[in-house]
Every structure is written in structure tokens, then in C-alpha cells.
Amino acid sequence: MKKKTVLFLVIAFGVFALYLAKPKQNTNQVEFSLTPKELLLATLQSEISDLNERLPLDLDVNTTLISIAIENEKIVSTHQLKDNVLGKVDANVIKNLFLPRIISNTCNAEDKKTFINAGINIVLEYLDANNNVLFDVEITEKTCSV
């Protein structure tokens, strides 16, 4: 009878140990999972107001960055061209002159590549001195792979 009691205790202890070792499911626990795109957008969104407080910022002799925003999961960067660039030149002529350089600079900038490679498009909007839109361009992964 002692063998049966010891065997019963060993089995009972083993079952109890397995019960304790089994992972418990907590129905109150919520798991959040963000894609790289969502994480980048959330991180940038948390920094947008700080970035915009430092604007306007002269990027070069022709261009001033005046705002950065996130709209429809795209980064929208608004620039103002200086009057000396515009003169009496048509906006399409300016766009054709600047566009290749804008695309190249955006696609080759390491900080912007991170967003583009995550599927976040970058819209660059260019305004005149009176805040009228001259042109805009949307940079995508496809734009940069051409």
C-alpha cells in the first residue's frame, strides 16, 4: 500500500507542477503591435510640434522650410521660395528646373530614405512669397527607384 500511496503522490505532484508551469492567459492584457510605418509616423507625430517651433529655417539661398505635418500617413513638408528665385518666371519653369534636384536630394537623404523605405510618402510643397502654391511633388519608393 505504501508503493501505491507514493506513486499516487508522485503523479499528483507532477500534475500539480504541470498546472503551475502552464502559461496563464490574462484576458485583461492587451498586446499592441505596430508596423515600422506606424511606429515611424507615431514617433514623428510626437516630434512635429517641436520641429515646427524651430521653423522657419533657411535650407539654402533659395528655399525656406516653413512647416512639417503628417497628413493621410504622408509627411508634408512646406517650403517657400524666395522672391529672387521667382521674379517673373512661370511656376512650371521653376518646377522643371528644381524637380530633378528635389527628387535626387530627397531620395538620397538617409533620414528621408528611412521613411520612404517604410512606405511613407513625402510630399514637398513649394509656395511663393504670398503663400500661393507654385507646385508640389510626392516622393514614393517608386519615385526613388527610377
Q: Which residue has the higher pLDDT, 6 or 37?
A: 37
Number of folded domains that form the chain: 1
In a domain, 8, yes or no: no
Taking only the tens place, the pLDDT of each residue in 90-144 is 778 888 888 999 999 999 999 999 999 999 999 999 998 889 898 999 999 999 9
Residue 68, classified by CB atoms within 10 Å of its CB into exposed (0-12), middle (13-18) or buried (19+), is middle
In a domain, 76, yes or no: yes
Q: What is the pLDDT of residue 24?
A: 57
| pLDDT reported for residue 93 | 83
Confidence (pTM): 0.74
Confidence category of residue 33, pLDDT binned at 50, 70, 90? confident
Q: d(Cα 73, Cα 75) in Å, to the nearest integer? A: 7
Q: Would you state the pLDDT for residue 52?
A: 94
Task: Give pLDDT, residue 73.
Answer: 94
b/e sequence 41-59, b meaning 16+ C-beta within 10 Å = beebeeeeeeeeeeeeeee
Q: Packing angle between helix 91-108 and helix 110-117, nearest 10 degrees?
A: 90
Strand order in the sheet with 74-81: 57-58, 63-71, 74-81, 122-127, 133-139
Mean pLDDT of the chain: 82
Domain membership of residue 124 (yes or no) is yes
Residue 16 lies in a domain: no
What does the angle CA 77 – CA 47 – CA 51 come to, to the nearest 5 degrees?
Answer: 50
**pLDDT score of 119:** 95
**Within a domain: residue 111?**
yes
Q: Which domain holds residue 59?
A: 36-145
Residue 78: give its domain's CATH number: 3.30.300.250
4 falls within a domain: no
Digit-coded pLDDT (tens) for 59-94? 988 889 999 999 999 999 999 988 766 666 677 888
Decide if 127 contacts 78 (C-beta within 8 A).
yes
